[in-house]
Structure 1
Amino acid sequence: MDFEEIYDFYFREVHLYVRSLCDNESIAEEIAQETFFKALKPIHRFDGKKDIRAWLFTIAKNTYFSYYKKNHRRLCDLAVSNEKEVDHTRVDLTERLTRQEDAFTIHQFIRTMSEPYKEVFSLRVFGELSFLQIGKLFGKGDSWARVTYHRARKQIIEYMEEIENERD
């Protein structure tokens, strides 16, 4: 597979994974592009024995963390300004709003989770990696990835139940 095919085949998945890490679409797009730029240089050394998607996700994760460290202040300011905006496109569909609100609440909570729970959950749900692939990324086994994923899932469920109880 040449690099253009790799880009076409995996860009969407890498972009969705990065999008799960950050709230800003344009930043996610930029980081996804940067991921493939960084992958282009050492692609000739990639032996094909490992999963290329997991390799790209690792590059994307590291690129995101580097970007975050460099731009932390700007990202905080952007998040505050986004919170102050009023949503003028409100749709009167209670069911849809509830689902969107729950999804937003879950994403907010995921961002506060500690590592490795946050990353394992994101890789499994948004990156659609197998437990074996996740375990390999962390240098562990698939059972470690399963246990970590289920603990993260349990934290999210407990948080959502807590929110639900506060609403009642």
Structure 2
Amino acid sequence: MHLQQETLCFNELVRTYEQDVRRYSLFLCGNRDLAEDIAQETFLRAYRYIHLFRGDASFKTWLFKIAQHAAKDLQQKQSAQHSILTKAKLALNYYPSAEHTYFDSYLKDEICEIVLMLPHVFQQVIVLDVKYDRSIQEIAQQLQVSAGTVKSRLYRARIKISEHMMRRHG
């Protein structure tokens, strides 16, 4: 078979199984963007290794097995990248420069000053969230309001803080 004919045949297989592979990829990872990457990688690997397909199972089953491996590989790659970034951030925070320390302290002071200018209901949620690292549910219980109210107040407080920062720094 000529390369052009092989490509046409493979394109037909992709059209036939594309939706199934995408849905299965989304099932595997729960993230649409990552699922798209998994589906693309699945079809690339299938094209590259189609000569290894023996027909012991259906073509769809074979594709799903490739998708499982692609998902595992992509998630391991992401995990490794995350680990490298985390280590880099820790190294930066462990050996901060004098400038970094000054600006970090300056910004903390400035943000604290802005938080104190906010209405009390916004101050409460920001302090409990940022300073005391409380969850939405914990804040809601402590303030005796709904979780939705806490989320709304946090959102509005952050907007107000951002607006103050923008006015100060242009």
Relative to the length of structure 2, the TM-score reads 0.41
More helix by share: 2
Structure 1 or 2, whichever has the larger Rg, is: 2
Which structure carries more relative contact order (alpha carbon 8 Å, separation 6+)?
Answer: 1
Relative to the length of structure 1, the TM-score reads 0.41
